[in-house]
Amino acid sequence: MKQIVLRTALALAFASLLQPVVAMDHSSHAAPVAKAANQVLSEGKVRRLDRGAGSVTITHGPIENLGMGAMTMTFSFKQGVVPASVKDGDQVRFRAEEKDSQYTVVRVVPAK
């Protein structure tokens, strides 16, 4: 009897080792091509806003559409893109794009 119990335990232990490893499928992580992708905003904090020069330095989190990790960098922007209420130190959500090999902020939304 003891023998059978032991064998069963071993069999179960062995069977658990044979559980098929679920293959990781990353295909679903592929960048969405939908129009909605244009609306994806990134998180950031305004470090230095220069409205005259049309440049803003932002410490930002990952920017998925640019394949960029978190960092501090300067973007250019066109007049009217950064809301008048936005000032240095503000938390914002923003959309950045690469235009003419220049990183440009095309939308800025103050974060609450």
Q: Which is nearer to Cu ion, 7 or 48 (CB)?
A: 48
Query: Is residue 59 a contact partner of residue 72, using CB atoms and an 8 Å limit?
Result: yes
Q: Does 73 bind Cu ion (CB under 5 A)?
A: yes
CB 60 within 8 A of CB 43: yes
CA 40 to CA 67: how far, in whole Å? 13
Residue 68 binds to Cu ion (criterion: CB under 5 A): yes
CB 88 within 8 A of CB 46: yes
| Nearer CB in complex with Cu ion: 41/68 | 68
CB of 110 to Cu ion, least distance (A): 20
In the complex with Cu ion, the residue whose CB is nearer, 88 or 98, is 98
Q: Is 47 in the site for Cu ion (CB under 5 A)?
A: no
